Chain A
C-alpha cells in the first residue's frame, strides 16, 4: 500500500473582511501519495496560495480536515503547528527567503536549531550533506548577496531538505528566476523526486507545470481539474536543448 502524505476532507477557508465573508477555499478534497510531484495551478485569486498555506500548516482551515503524513492537523495547537512545520515540511519560497548576512551553511542549519526531538544527530554534517546534494558544496561559506539567484534558491532547497521532511512545498519557486535558471531548479526538483522526495509546488506557468507528474488546476476556490501528465518534460533534456540553441545562435 502506498503511503498517503496529504489527505484533505472538505477543506474550507473563509476570510472575514469586515462583516463580509470571503470564501477562498471551498470543500477541497485532495490526496497526494508519497513520491508524487504535483503542480497546483490557477490564476491569482483561485485559492492556490490559500491551499498552500493550509497544506504548509501556516494557517488553520475554517472547516474540514487535513491529515499530514497520518497526523490530523485540525485539532493541533500553535506549538504543534510549529513542530509539524519543522518535522514534516520543507518550504521553498518565490523570494528565496534566506537570512541576509548569514552564510549558506548557517541558513541550512537554521531548521535544525528548532528541532525539538533531535531527529538529526550530527546537525553540522547533515547541513553540509544537504548543500552538497544541491551542488553547492563549494559555496557553503558564501552569504546570499554573494550568490546568484539560482544558487540562492538551491540554498533554500537545501534548507527545505535538511530536516528530512515528508514533503517539499514550493511556492512559485522560479518566479524570480530567468527561464534557464528555472529549468536548472526544476532539474534539481526532478532529481530529488526521483530519489523519493514528495514535491508539491504552486505555479501559474503551464510550461513549468509540465515538469511535474500531476497537475491540480484550481478556480474560485475549487479544484476543477486533477490529472497526470502524459508528455512530461525532462528538465535535463530541456537544459541540453537550451545549450544547443545557445551554441547555434553564436
Chain B
C-alpha cells in the first residue's frame, strides 16, 4: 500500500471513534505538556539563577574564614580564624592580580531615622566595594579611603532602607542612628533586586569598614574579604596568588590545611546550576512517567480496538490484505494518535508557560530542543506501545477473524 493510502486509512479509523481517540491521545497530550512545562520551569529557574549570579558582580572572588571541609577531621578546635585588617592590607599591598579588594564586616542593627525605625544589615566595606559588586550609586556619593581610616560616621543606604525610613524625602544629608550611633547619609544605592537566596539585596546600609568594626560589630572580626579579578580568565591565577598570600599571612606551614576558603563565582554558578539541573531532571522524570502511562493507555486502547475490530481485520484479510498491511495499519494508527497527542501537548505547554509567565512569578522558558525531544518521545511511544497490538492484529487467521462475533 502507498504511504498516502495508509495514512488516509489510519486517520479515517481514528476519526470514526472520535471520543475514544481523544481519550487515548489525552494520556500523551498530558504527558507531553507535563514534560515540556516541567523542563521549562526547570530551565526558567536555571536562567534566573544565572542572572542572579551575574548580579553579584563579575569576576568576584570571596574569601571566607574556615576551611571548606570543617568538622572533626581538623582536630584543632579554636583554630577557626576570622580575618583581620592585616590580612586585607597584605592582599592589597602584595597582590598584583587583584583589581579591587574590600573587607566585609557584618552587623545587624536597629536603625532609627526619618519616619521611624528599621532593622537591617549594616555592612562595613572599603570604597572599592561598589566596583567589586558593580553597584552604581543612584544619588549622592560614596565614602572615601579617608572616611575609612578616620572611622567617619557616614553611610550609604539601599533602596529598601530608603523606602522604609525616608519614603517622602531625600535622605541625603539626613542623620540616622544605628544602635544609637549617629551616621550621616551621603548616598543612595541603585536597586539590585532579589538575591539568589531570595532575600533583598537592597535591604542594606553600607558604611566604612573600620567604623562598623569599632562602633557596631564590637570586637568581631571581618566576616569575609571580597576581591575582584582583572578578568574572568585571570580568576584561577588570582585565586592561587590569594591563597599564597593568605597562607603566609596566617603562617601556615607546609602540609597544614587552609584555614580559609576561596570561592569564585564559577563555584557558586556550578552549585546553583547543578541544583536547578537536578530539579529539572527530577521534574522531567516525574512528567516522563506520565508520558509512559499515556503510552500504556494507547496500548490498552489499541488492544481493545484489535479485539473489537477482529471482523474488520478478517474482511481486510479475505479481500487480499497481507499480514504486513494490517500490521502497518494498526501501527500507523498508534503513531498518528501519539504524534497528534504530541502536537496538542506542545501547544498546551505553550499556553501553560504563557499563563505561568504572565500570572505568576514562576519563570518558565521552553527551549526548542525540548519540544523536539518531547515530540520524538511521543512518536517513539506510539511505535513501542503500538507494536504489540498491531502484531496481534496481523497474526489473526482470516477464517477465525471473519467468524468472530
Interface residues in chain A, defined as those with a beta carbon under 8 Å from any beta carbon in chain B: 53, 56, 58-59, 78-79, 82-83, 85-87, 91, 93, 97-99, 101-102, 110-111, 113-115, 159, 163
Contacts and interface: CB of A to CB of B under 8 A. Distances in A.
B320 A87 contact: yes
A113 B9 contact: yes
Contacts of A163: 320
Given A78-B323, A93-B402, A114 B1 contact: yes
B399 A113 contact: no
Contact of A82 (B12, B312, B320): B320
Contacts of A110: 315-316, 319
B321 A114 contact: yes
B399 A159 contact: no
B1 A113 contact: yes
A161 to B, nearest CB: 12
Nearest to A169: B318
Contacts of A87: 320
Given A93-B402, A114-B325, A83 B318 contact: no
B403 to A, nearest CB: 9
A99 B312 contact: yes
18 contacts: A53-B399, A56-B318, A58-B398, A58-B402, A78-B322, A79-B324, A82-B317, A82-B320, A83-B322, A85-B318, A85-B320, A93-B402, A97-B318, A110-B315, A113-B9, A114-B1, A114-B319, A114-B320
Contacts of B9: 113
A93 B317 CA distance: 14
B393 to A, nearest CB: 14
A115 B321 CA distance: 9
Given A79-B322, A86-B319, A99-B315, A113 B402 contact: no
Contacts of B324: 79
Contacts of B1: 113-114
B5 interface: yes
Interface string B322-342: 111100000000000000000
Given A99-B312, A113-B9, A91 B318 contact: yes
Contacts of B314: 97
Given A97-B311, A97-B314, A101-B16, A111 B399 contact: no
A36 B311 CA distance: 30
Contacts of A85: 317-320
B320 A97 contact: no
Contacts of A101: 16
Nearest to B398: A58
